[in-house]
Amino acid sequence: MLANKTALVTGSTSGIGLGIAKALARQGANIVLNGFGDAEGPQAEIAALGAQVAYHGADMSKPGEIAEMMRFAAERFGQVDILVNNAGIQHVARIEDFPVEKWDAIMAINLSSAFHATRLAVPAMRKANWGRIINVASVHGLVGSAEKSAYVAAKHGVIGLTKVTALENADSGVTCNAICPGWVLTPLVQQQVDAKAAALGLSNEEAKKLLLGEKEPSMQFTTPEELGELAIFFCSPAGQNVRGVAWNMDGGWVAQ
């Protein structure tokens, strides 16, 4: 379905981003990966699906490097047709104890990077009259949780940015929507599981059940594969008039 399209997925060397990148690759898209850590393994996984793949290690807190990444993608594959703004970091602390530098970093990577990538992607998408911008927000873009002030604020901002981007491009074939996962067992969430297990003297499995039980009625983690399938829907003809939505996959978290 996505043959001859190019998808750039930020924060895609693991977790949700890699899951979405693989789903897009299975549909024939060229993939540009981005992120820290091991890049060769994820590139090999994408290539094994028969897709063309490239990697750019832009630091998503730096607008200049984001611009360079967008140029790289355009030079490598022509243009970015599908932009998935997924890069994100987390820090947990009460507001009065929250390190200012952590707040600034979370805002830069979780929110501002989506703005910078979007502003650079939109002109070519509008010229082609086709584009898909998918922002990976969070259930925390819809509801709050204590000790996550920066993350919650940034993710609420991502949903606001999604709505404005959708409205500004509603006269074209360019759509913008947000995916709002609940708990996904990414390395970021596994750190929270490990911390809970250590603090309460629980096994890892017990800590997982406690984490899910606090928020997610289904008692199931959402998977990167499921999120990838939702991204495919947004890119499909059926998603042509889905614009500006914040679609939660959260096991009933927000329904409570």
Exactly one of 55, 151, 221, 234 is catalytic; which is it?
151
Confidence (pLDDT) at 191: 87
User: Tens digit of pLDDT for each residue in 145-200?
Assistant: 999 999 999 999 999 999 999 999 999 999 999 999 999 988 778 888 999 999 99
pLDDT above 90 (res 246): yes
Confidence (pLDDT) at 151: 98
Confidence (pLDDT) at 64: 98
55 is catalytic: no
- What mean pLDDT do residues 196-219 have? 94
* Residue in this structure with the two tokens 């990148």, named with its chain if needed: 21
Both tokens assigned to 237: 């003809």
The pLDDT confidence band at residue 243, using thresholds 50, 70 and 90, is very high
CA 84 to chain centre: 6
The pLDDT confidence band at residue 229, using thresholds 50, 70 and 90, is very high
Which residues, 6+ apart, have CB-to-CB distance to 78 below 8 Å? 6
Measured distance CA(14)–CA(228) in Å, rounded: 13
Average pLDDT, the chain: 96
Q: Are 67 and 116 in contact (CB under 8 A)?
A: yes
- What mean pLDDT do residues 4-11 have? 97
pLDDT above 90 (res 94): yes
* Residue in this structure with the two tokens 């028969």, named with its chain if needed: 50
User: Tens digit of pLDDT for each residue in 29-56?
Assistant: 999 999 999 999 999 999 999 999 999 9
Q: Which amino acid is at 40?
A: E
